[in-house]
Amino acid sequence: MHDSPFLADELFGRVLDEYPDIKTLKKLHAKIFFDQHLHQNPSLGIKLMRAYAANGEIRITRHIFDGIPVKNVVFFNVMIRSYVNNYRYDDGLLVFKTMSSYGFIPDNYTYPCVLKACSASQNLWVGLQIHAAVVKIGLDLNLFVGNGLVSMYGKCDKLLEARQVLDEMPRRDVVSWNSMVAGYAQNARFDDALEICREMELLRQRPDVGTMASLLPAITNTSSYNVSYIKRIFDNLVKKSLVSWNVMITVFVSNSMPGEAVDLFLQMEDCEIEPDAVTIASILPACGDLSALLLGRRLHRYVDMKKFRPNLLLENAILDMYAKCGCLEEASEVFNSMKFQDVVSWTSLISAYGRNGQGSEAVALFAKMQDLGMSPDSVAFVSVLSACSHGGLLDEGKYYFKLMTDKYQIVPRLEHYSCMVDLLGRAGRVHDAYNFVKEMPIEPNERVWGALLSACRVYSNMEIGLVAADKLFQMAPQQAGYYVLLSNIYAKAERWQEVTRVRSIMKSRGIKKTPGVSNVELNHKIYTFLAGDRSHPKSKELYEELDVLVGKMKELGYVPETDSALHDVEEEDKECHLAVHSEKLAIVFAILNSEPGTTIRITKNLRVCGDCHTAAKLISKISEREIVVRDTHRFHHFTNGICSCGDYW
């Protein structure tokens, strides 16, 4: 080795450039240390520092740095970068500050790295000092320094300054634009972030995977136009990375487009892109929204196969998926298998039991959570109050509302008040619910009045129903559901003239009733049905089977509930109108296309009507199937002619 020092230099240097594993690295280090020539080679010292930093051994990196007797600016740059790449931003800034005491001037490699530390630690004060320093020596015109300044100002919420730097840069690359996009996105200025993307395109700078990732922090309830625009960016990517797929899936899920999210995930699989934990955590909520249990179970198996657990975020997503699919047993198994459960885990399970009509079990879970020393938060109380409401547990609901305010000092929000109004209303205490609304210390919102109006429909309280409806028409004049509820109250009272007046108002204002939509999953594919849907290739067979089922139902005593149907048509036409509701079509489709005995799972975008509820009970008995329907209010488990809700929904 001593006879050919230059060959040794080259050999060791080449191995270190490949960043060997820590065991190999330490062996090389020992050989270099004991060879005096190599030990004094600054090039090998720098490569050792980089290799140790790449392995996360920042302490050894610093030890080598301190042991170098004669340093130059490169050593300082490598040490700063080593700290920054290992998330020790303050230590990196400290090394930067000591450079001047050694007589070294930072260069165009130093400043971008230090600015990255300022961005990550949101250290605006040091960032401002660096900006002033680079302007003095003209380095602000350097592309990488400029990019660092844009990012630093964006991360420190100084968006005007970030934009000014971007505008003054003589040359910009995709990183420059992405840094500005990220600055707007991280400050929830989504429209501005998209405007930057459009500017990029006008200047013939193609948005890339980094652009997609930069948009991620602001992806919440964007307009359909913006979703389309982001999808266009995604479609135009020359090469789609896993990050870009994850971002696009998140866009769809965050904007209540679960069907599109699932379709995209299946496309991703077809492209042989392997999902990671982020992908799975992103797509599972869509599976829950669609009751896509088969896909959800497959993803659960994939998580176990890849050993992604323990991962609290991912495990909570799996738990919530099973809960939304009405699979209490599987949700409980996931919960019990978790090494650690947080308030989100407990809340998901409590909510699941409540929405599935097992209010007593939900209350018991809530009590157990407290016994284990975990303090319920505001959302947890919404779950337990909702569970009490669905289960008709009036006294328990009152107790927990008082416990929330007295013991935990949580100020009730509109969601809690809405739960209490719903609780009282469902229990038939409509006047008490109305008095509760009048005594609220904050202004009731649409959900509160909506809960009261629903109670008035169930218990035919026209007097209070008119008050609630009037408030709702002021708050949401275009919301068809409230007009329909009022119309149904009149219809139950056979006040047909008022029914006609309400429907005339709807017509004059251009308000149309939200069409019923039901989803059912078969063989990992989601099928969607609308009321009166005849778009399916086998719709003839579907309607023939439905007619047969209706005949069998009538033999069991079924009488269509036409009270709330349009009164100005013949009784036979009312029956036809009810017969083609979307959930009936979805159920029949599942019966025709699945094995006998298979559980049928339906999700509906509206509350199940009384007629469909009765029909589903009878169909479950005739077909000897369990039918699980999730509507906007709760789950209904229909088995052998009985519903889990006990006809209380």
pLDDT in tens, 574-593: 444 555 788 889 999 999 99
pLDDT reported for residue 322: 94
How far apart, in Å, are the Cα atoms of 160 and each of 172, 434, 543, 553, 600? Answer: 17, 50, 62, 68, 55
pLDDT reported for residue 575: 44
Helices 224-236, 190-202: crossing angle, 10 deg rounding: 40
CB atoms within 10 A of CB 452: 28
The whole-angstrom separation of Cα 273 and Cα 265 is: 10
Hey, what domains does the chain have and what are their CATH numbers? 240-340 (1.25.40), 422-509 (1.25.40), 517-643 (no CATH)
**pLDDT band of 15, cuts 50, 70, 90:** low
Give the three-state DSSP class for 513: coil
State which H helix or E strand residue 604 sits in. strand 600-604
Inform me whether the pLDDT recorded for 564 exceeds 80.
no
Inform me whether the pLDDT recorded for 273 exceeds 60.
yes
pLDDT in tens, 145-197: 999 999 999 989 899 999 999 999 999 988 998 899 888 888 878 778 878 87
Inform me whether the pLDDT recorded for 349 exceeds 50.
yes
pLDDT reported for residue 268: 94
CA angle 532, 534, 539 (to 5 degrees): 115
pLDDT in tens, 439-497: 999 999 999 998 998 888 888 888 898 899 889 888 888 888 888 888 888 887 778 88
pLDDT reported for residue 223: 61
DSSP secondary structure letter of residue 274: P
**pLDDT band of 219, cuts 50, 70, 90:** low
pLDDT in tens, 53-65: 888 888 988 988 8
pLDDT reported for residue 128: 95
Q: Which amino acid is at 473?
A: F
Inform me whether the pLDDT recorded for 38 exceeds 70.
no
pLDDT in tens, 467-480: 998 898 888 888 88
pLDDT reported for residue 224: 61
pLDDT reported for residue 191: 77
Question: Which residues are registered as beta bridge partners of 57?
Answer: none
pLDDT reported for residue 534: 80
Q: Which amino acid is at 221?
A: N
Inform me whether the pLDDT recorded for 560 exceeds 60.
yes
45, 68 in Cβ contact below 8 A? yes
Closest CA to 148 of 244, 126, 209, 137: 126
Choose between 55 and 274: higher pLDDT.
274
Q: Are strands 627-630 and 600-604 parallel, antiparallel or unpaired?
A: parallel
Closest CA to 599 of 281, 283, 293: 293
Inform me whether the pLDDT recorded for 20 exceeds 80.
no
pLDDT reported for residue 298: 95
Read off the pLDDT of each residue in 428-436 and give the average, rounded to a whole number. Answer: 94
**pLDDT band of 113, cuts 50, 70, 90:** very high
342, 317 in Cβ contact below 8 A? no
pLDDT reported for residue 260: 92
**pLDDT band of 435, cuts 50, 70, 90:** very high
Tokens 């799996």 label which residue? 318
Inform me whether the pLDDT recorded for 204 exceeds 80.
no
Read off the pLDDT of each residue in 58-86 and give the average, rounded to a whole number. Answer: 89
pLDDT reported for residue 35: 54
The whole-angstrom separation of Cα 260 and Cα 535 is: 19
Three state DSSP letters for 414-477: HHHHHHHHHHHHHCCCHHHHHHHHHCCCCCCCHHHHHHHHHHHHHCCCHHHHHHHHHHHHHHCC
pLDDT in tens, 277-327: 989 999 999 999 888 899 999 999 999 999 998 889 999 999 999 998 888
Choose between 55 and 368: higher pLDDT.
368
pLDDT reported for residue 12: 52
